[in-house]
């Protein structure tokens, strides 16, 4: 009996599958603008100096590698909550240190299922793994309108309407800032209105927070959570330390549950621990030690936030330079939104065949939906990217 033969054929992941394809491409001039990672001027993933210094301190401590508690160590969690909700009393939160934010999303899905929630709604578009994760957790997945690809604006009235129509026993997943893949976030007034609807309709809010510090600033980028906590009784944030600490492969994340009354936190925590134990048992320790060591030290925190600020400002400059270079090429597509978008991504309004040609003829890899990782551009590859776009659009190469 060949059990493995019974698998159905499945498509590769739209982001990591493409990264694998890029790796195999023999083109010596290939440029990877797919996966959302911050790259340096040398087009390399940057190791933060603060991370390196923290690792040296950890090394010197000669800590053993014993198991952590099922939902992580208290010290990591105490530091993280100060970063995400500095004005709130930590007693309002249950936090589980998870395997990156993806397992926080999965854990939230399983907990929601246990809470009696049946449906989850995402923005159209969203991170392609969102529906996958929540379907696997047993929820029914739906979308609500979000972005107008012609005007490069939020479909704000359609968002309000769709949220108002959401049925009972539903959750809505929002992205805290630096929306993936559009780069378009609601402003303060729009968030206020969205949150009012969430409250009135009794919708359960989940926020995916993967880019704190890459939008407007560390505190500015968690405004949506601050506004949410003023209005609703309960919410969950799924937090990633991948981008803002450059700890992608260390898989450091957290599920942060807010309960205004604090009454249900113990029960939630017990259920979370049982769910985690039946899944990956305990989280990996090294990345969380790095984050904790940085945040506990005034000096390292300062170094870290300065590094992050430099990265944020550099991505904004890259956006300006990218637009300028595109405009010099007289390409008949509106790219002005690039300098308004927040975070690492923008959606380029390129036809599908142009995106394929960029990849196949010029080795310029962006996602099939036109998402480009702006933080993968640098002065060395900018001209090659924009002239390839010019060739596929203006000269139909």
Cα dihedral 360/363/365/368 (nearest 10):
-10
In angstroms, give the least distance from the CB of 366 to ligand LMR. 11
Active site residue 191: no
Minimum CB distance to ligand LMR smaller for 33 or for 326: 33
Token couple for 351: 């036809």
Residues 156-215 that bind ligand LMR (CB under 6 A): 180
Pairing between β-strand 170-175 and β-strand 204-209 as defined by DSSP bridges:
parallel
Q: Is the dihedral of CA 117, 121, 126, 132 positive or negative?
A: positive
When binding is defined by CB under 6 A, the residue of 22, 32, 33, 36 that contacts ligand LMR is 36
Minimum distance of ligand LMR from residue 367's CB (angstroms): 8
Q: Which of 121, 127 has the CB closer to ligand LMR?
A: 127
Nearest CB to ligand LMR, comparing residues 117 and 178: 178
Q: Which residue, 207, 262, 319, is CA-closest to 94?
A: 262
Does residue 127 touch ligand LMR according to CB under 6 A? Answer: yes
Of 35, 197, 232, 382, the one binding ligand LMR by CB under 6 A: 35
Phi, psi of 143 (to 5 degrees): -120, 160
- List the structure tokens of 71: 């939902």
Residue 139 to residue 162: CA distance in whole angstroms: 19
Q: Which residues contact 334 (CB under 8 A, 6 or more apart)?
A: 152, 349
Rg (the chain; Cα; Å): 21
Task: Please list the residues that pair with 205 across neighbouring strands.
Answer: 172
- Choose the catalytic residue: 39, 77, 221, 243: 243
Q: Verify whether residue 127 is a known catalytic residue.
A: yes
What is the size of the binding site for ligand LMR (CB under 6 A)?
5
Which uninterrupted H or E stretch holds 128?
none
Instruction: Give, as ranges, the residues between 238 and 297 that touch ligand LMR (CB under 6 A).
Output: none
- 208 tagged catalytic: yes
Q: Token digits for 102?
A: 């993806």
Q: Taking the complex as a whole, how short is the minimal distance between the CB of residue 127 and ligand LMR, in angstroms? A: 5
259: phi then psi, degrees, rounded to nearest 5 = -135, 110
Q: Which is nearer to ligand LMR, 173 or 229 (CB)?
A: 173
Minimum CB distance to ligand LMR, residue 238 (Å): 12
- Smallest separation (angstroms) from ligand LMR to the CB of 34: 7
Given 71, 127, 292, 341, which residue is catalytic?
127
Closest-by-Cβ residue to ligand LMR is 36
Q: Which C-beta is closer to ligand LMR: that of 253 or that of 363? A: 253
Q: Least CB distance from residue 240 to ligand LMR, whole Å?
A: 8
Contacts of 93 (CB under 8 A, 6+ apart): 81, 85, 256, 257, 258, 259, 265
The H or E element containing residue 156 is helix 156-164
Nearer to ligand LMR, 36 or 213 (CB): 36
Nearest CA to 111 among 5, 265, 6, 233? Answer: 265
Does residue 15 touch ligand LMR according to CB under 6 A? yes
Residues engaged in binding ligand LMR (CB under 6 A): 15, 35-36, 127, 180
Give the residue numbers annotated as catalytic, written as ranges: 127, 208, 243
């Amino acid at each position: 009996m060949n059990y493995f033969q019974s698998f159905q054929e499945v498509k590769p992941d739209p982001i990591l599958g493409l990264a694998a394809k890029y790796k195999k491409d023999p083109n010596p001039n290939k440029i990877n603008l797919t996966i959302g990672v911050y790259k340096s001027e040398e087009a390399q993933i940057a190791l933060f100096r603060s991370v390196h210094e923290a690792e040296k301190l950890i090394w010197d401590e000669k800590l053993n590698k014993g198991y952590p508690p099922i939902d992580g160590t208290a010290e990591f969690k105490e530091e993280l909550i100060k970063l995400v909700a500095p004005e709130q009393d930590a007693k309002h939160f249950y936090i589980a240190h998870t395997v990156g934010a993806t397992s926080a999303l999965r854990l939230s899905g399983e907990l929601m299922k246990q809470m009696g929630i049946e449906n989850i709604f995402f923005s159209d578009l969203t991170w392609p793994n969102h529906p996958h994760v929540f379907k696997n957790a047993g929820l029914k997945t739906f979308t609500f309108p979000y972005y107008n690809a012609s005007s490069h604006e939020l479909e704000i009235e359609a968002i309000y309407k769709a949220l108002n129509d959401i049925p009972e026993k539903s959750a809505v997943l929002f992205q805290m800032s630096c929306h993936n893949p559009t780069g378009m976030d609601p402003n303060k007034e729009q968030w206020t209105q969205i949150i009012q609807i969430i409250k009135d309709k009794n919708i359960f809010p989940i926020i995916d927070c993967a880019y704190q510090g890459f939008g407007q600033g560390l505190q500015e980028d968690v405004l949506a959570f601050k506004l949410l906590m003023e209005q609703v009784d309960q919410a969950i944030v799924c937090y990633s330390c991948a981008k803002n600490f450059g700890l992608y492969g260390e898989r450091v994340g957290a599920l942060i549950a807010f309960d205004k009354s604090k009454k249900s936190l113990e029960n939630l925590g017990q259920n979370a621990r049982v769910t985690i134990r039946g899944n990956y048992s305990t989280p990996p320790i090294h990345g969380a030690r790095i984050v904790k060591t940085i945040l506990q030290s005034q000096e390292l925190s300062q170094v870290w936030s300065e590094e992050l600020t430099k990265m944020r400002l550099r991505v904004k400059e890259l956006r300006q330079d990218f637009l300028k270079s595109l405009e010099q090429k007289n390409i008949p597509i509106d790219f002005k939104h690039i300098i308004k978008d927040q975070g690492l991504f923008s959606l380029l309004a390129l036809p599908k065949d142009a995106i394929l040609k960029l990849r196949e003829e010029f080795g310029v890899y962006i996602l099939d939906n036109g998402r480009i990782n702006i933080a993968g551009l640098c002065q060395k590859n900018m001209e090659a990217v924009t002239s390839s776009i010019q060739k596929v659009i203006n000269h139909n190469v």
